[in-house]
Structure 1
């Protein structure tokens, strides 16, 4: 006779005999639990690694504390936590958020990383997403963050519900021995001692996490020349992240890219009217004072808007009675160069519409511009496309991969010219503010019906030529109010406008129509600030005291006024003005103020 089965075994056998009921997996048998530590932020930021943020007592979703973080122009204020999970298991991530453009997500799932977000949550809103871990996944990283420069966000009661992990363990100790190795103008090599129990490392620059490493070394790139940076590293494993190491400071070398290596640390750039006369009068190139480091000859203009054929027709004697001869003009170019100055041909201007809509126009542009440079022995080229020379197609929403023919062909033409003349070729650009900074709000027209197709249209060109670009001097004049990274509109005529517009270039900013892509910051040695030389030169004149306040704020972070900058840039290249002629008309006020400020 068979011996009786234990009750538990009998019930299991009955379950297997019932159609549709299968044995439970080992993962499913594990009790569901919340894998997040301190998800309500009741213990401050314990367990979380945050690039920015703190805990506040109000507003909160529950309990007595919540996270509040404010993204900067180059940082989304992410708070993250690495937690232990089971392989091949389903998890639900949820949390409550307030603010605009708030994200909740998970990475390292071993399957498909997930995220969810809300564009606007004036009051607490629950975000929820789910994922299944991969067959070898034992940890994931959950995070919340806001969006660059869009204001503070709040988060509370973040949880990850699913099968409990395979043991809590302990995070490793902080790494020791952090040191800086090879330093260039744009990178710093770091190394450190291994931390016991670590499976990876996180690298921090000036307190913000910038990259991860699997070994005990990393090279941080994308840095600005002549700039001091502070670095730290932390160690990570399945149980979490260590404290940060002791900091090490390194200063990058001076920049030499883009043909700017032999410019002075602070340069004065001016446009010289050489093809026309106006109320400012004609100024001979030889009579331009030595204070001017870059002289843009205004202008080379097209034979027609779409021909690409550029001609440099110097001012006729009937219009400019004191115009020099061609031989004297060429001699003046050589004299300026012998004195260390750069003389460029500027293409476009207010009346010179250039639209390279065909490859034939592109090739004509390259040939004709090369002819002008070679004829006069010039140092390079300034792009001053205005009007509708650059207008985005309605479906052109990715500034890193433009499709508008006029933009694609211009990029190709400039790369060809740079390759033809080599490393010493000076390339500058002088777009108006709505061609650049307005891309923060309105990029393209497909999503922003009725907006000007020029909004942000220079961004693809600047991005594509960023390594070859000597100077970008945006025209901070003849412009309406423009929104800065503080989400406030700033108007011409005072320091705040120039501070806000320049801070965007040096910090980087999200591009409105570009699916979350961020326009990267330029090096400070690539940036000069464009201002009118006098009240006669155009709208947006800035008094010398306001010019000084602008420079104080950006290079020293003093005297800043109402706009909160995202950094300090002592290597800011300098100032550009329209124009040398108008400054001479005003007794050299702009030049004299520049000389007094920079010595």
Structure 2
């Protein structure tokens, strides 16, 4: 009798059972998907929100790109994306990283949030972790980040594997795309709403230009007399739609108000300088009549308040005890009229380093308007330059929307400037000279409400610039006396070379998400509204750059040649020009700044 047959039969049955379980498991896993979008960073940072990230071509784990992010200060350089998941389901998060103290994790799981990390990965290291979603969880945020001050880290091939959330079907492509309000440097676009879409992306000549939440956008930074093709896509949690049908628009030739200063009568390229009119320093006093004809806008520095919160602005000319060669009031006024007859603009600049102005009340606002008007009328000036520094503009902790400010000093300043513009009409020249801290630093930090602990001045000028964008003649940000500022390449840029000026100006002409919020984008200014602020000499302030670096800056921004490491998002031949502190310091340096401007623009 064969005693082995029953055992063979049992083993065969067991094998079939195990095989069936394995087959069932494989079928179940076949339903799983990689839910991470652009986990290999082959499409740049599409799908990711990064506080300080960019993509690089080396090193990479696979493909042609990887994430590089550099923690700095109080920022750990996190990159994150939110994905749609199924409730009460298992998921595996994995990715490849390298660098010191690199983290990979998931939050909002509905159960226990998870993370995994490596202390030291000189080469690519695989990180993986698992979690189960809660009974009502439909979205999970996955992220990677570094640690403070430990240098750049890299990440690639990030995956989130598990049951897909819903249908994972991207929205339909938008329809009804039209172009309107075409100028020499911008085109306004609008399109029909797409059901379920949470955002839209505008493409210019096939390249991503702007992301918005509504159904309209204005694309700036364009070149005059140039044809552009535009398309738009819709996005939701499942991804991005196909592109819409294209619409073509040709920018105007630049005639009229768009390129020549409009009713303000500025030349196509203008040189702006501050004239020390109320004080003396090592640069010496320069008479108004002695300012060379190259200077198109002359800002009288400074009108100052009688107290920080009074709103009462006084302009006191430099006394003879400090400025022995100061001209009389009559000669000063006559020289202003002569400059104006030659097509120059003379403005009163309010504030400066020592002139803190805080319009905390409506009474201070009204006093500001009346006292500034008195100065303008007394000297027959062409307009006003706002040079608020220090803590003149600071945001309240709950003021996080630059389009709808609530901070009194900002609301009252906007109201005062609109009143002055309305009083003097379209020929009124309105300029602003904020520091980079108040403007471009809003890209990373805006106030304190959203970021907690950040300086409340970060980006505090943005509400003022936005509110006055149609009335603003010139914005010339002070690209000096500044710490490192993050550009649109998510890299920090420091003073002393062309790259800093290129990066800071590109932000103004391209627009940028405020405090990293892709749904809260500060719109681009027209290039004819922008002049670049630079010190005239090494004596004038930190951040001086040589004439050669000034030329590189202008070449890159107006011709897209001679550029350095920063890649601009456009070319702006109608960039208005340069501003400098100051006419006096340039005279002290044998007019180096002025001569370089004249040589470049003729």
Q: Which residue of 2 aligns with 1:529?
A: 532
CA drift at 1:244? 7.0
Alpha-carbon distance in 1 for matches of 2:180, 2:283: 54
Contact 1:259 1:427 in 2 (8 A): no
Cα distance change of structure 1 residues 188 and 540 upon mapping to structure 2, 3 Å threshold: closer
Q: Which residue of 2 aligns with 1:487?
A: 490
CA drift at 1:128? 10
The C-alpha deviation readout for 1:13-54, integer Å capped at 9, x for no partner, is: xxxxxxxxxxxxxxxxxxx97899998999x99xx999xx99
Residue 554 of structure 1: SS of its match in structure 2?
helix
Q: Which moved more, 1:412-421 or 1:203-212?
A: 203-212
Does 1:329 pair with 2:332? yes
Residue number among 420, 423, 427 corresponding to 1:420 in the alignment: 423
Alpha-carbon distance in 2 for matches of 1:119, 1:349: 49
Contact 2:223 2:572 in 1 (8 A): no
Residue 271 of structure 1: SS of its match in structure 2?
strand
Does 1:342 pair with 2:341? no
Alpha-carbon distance in 2 for matches of 1:588, 1:57: 45
Contact 1:391 1:457 in 2 (8 A): yes
Q: Which residue of 2 aligns with 1:4?
A: none
Does 1:550 pair with 2:553? yes
Cα distance change of structure 1 residues 145 and 359 upon mapping to structure 2, 3 Å threshold: same
Does 1:184 pair with 2:183? yes
Q: Which residue of 1 aligns with 2:507?
A: 504
Contact 1:305 1:352 in 2 (8 A): yes
Q: Which residue of 1 aligns with 2:218?
A: 221
Contact 2:260 2:268 in 1 (8 A): no
Contact 1:533 1:577 in 2 (8 A): yes
TM-score (norm. length: structure 2): 0.69
Which residues of 2 match residues 28-427 of structure 1 at below 5 A?
Answer: 183-185=182-184, 187-188=186-187, 204-206=203-205, 207-208=207-208, 221-224=218-221, 226-227=223-224, 228=226, 230-233=228-231, 248=248, 250-254=250-254, 256=257, 260-261=261-262, 262-427=265-430
Alpha-carbon distance in 1 for matches of 2:204, 2:90: 29
Cα distance change of structure 1 residues 59 and 523 upon mapping to structure 2, 3 Å threshold: same
Contact 2:185 2:527 in 1 (8 A): no
Alpha-carbon distance in 2 for matches of 1:537, 1:432: 15
Q: Which moved more, 1:499-508 or 1:574-583?
A: 499-508
Alpha-carbon distance in 2 for matches of 1:567, 1:492: 22
The C-alpha deviation readout for 1:361-394, integer Å capped at 9, x for no partner, is: 1110011001111221211100111122122233
Q: Which residue of 2 aligns with 1:588?
A: 591
Cα distance change of structure 1 residues 189 and 429 upon mapping to structure 2, 3 Å threshold: closer
CA drift at 1:302? 0.8
Residue 529 of structure 1: SS of its match in structure 2?
strand
Alpha-carbon distance in 2 for matches of 1:340, 1:103: 62
Which residues of 2 match residues 555-570 of structure 1 at below 5 A?
Answer: 555-570=558-573
CA drift at 1:429? 0.8
Q: Which moved more, 1:203-212 or 1:283-292?
A: 203-212
Contact 2:537 2:586 in 1 (8 A): yes
CA drift at 1:322? 2.4
Q: Which residue of 2 aligns with 1:109?
A: none
Alpha-carbon distance in 2 for matches of 1:305, 1:274: 21
Q: Which residue of 2 aligns with 1:472?
A: 475
Q: Which residue of 2 aligns with 1:22?
A: none
Cα distance change of structure 1 residues 389 and 574 upon mapping to structure 2, 3 Å threshold: same
Alpha-carbon distance in 1 for matches of 2:371, 2:189: 47
CA drift at 1:311? 0.8
Q: Which residue of 2 aligns with 1:28?
A: none
Alpha-carbon distance in 1 for matches of 2:398, 2:427: 36
Cα distance change of structure 1 residues 525 and 158 upon mapping to structure 2, 3 Å threshold: farther
Cα distance change of structure 1 residues 35 and 468 upon mapping to structure 2, 3 Å threshold: farther
TM-score (norm. length: structure 1): 0.69
Cα distance change of structure 1 residues 386 and 125 upon mapping to structure 2, 3 Å threshold: farther
The C-alpha deviation readout for 1:249-289, integer Å capped at 9, x for no partner, is: 62245373799322112110000111122222221212211
Contact 2:348 2:385 in 1 (8 A): yes
The C-alpha deviation readout for 1:110-141, integer Å capped at 9, x for no partner, is: xxxxxxx9999996789999999xxxxxxxxx
Contact 2:318 2:326 in 1 (8 A): yes
Q: Which runs of 5+ in 1 are unaligned?
A: 1-31, 72-76, 81-88, 105-116, 133-142, 193-200, 213-217
Which residues of 2 match residues 512-523 of structure 1 at below 5 A?
Answer: 512=515, 517-523=520-526
Residue number among 539, 542, 548 corresponding to 2:542 in the alignment: 539
Alpha-carbon distance in 2 for matches of 1:56, 1:484: 20
CA drift at 1:530? 0.9
Alpha-carbon distance in 2 for matches of 1:126, 1:498: 46
CA drift at 1:348? 0.7
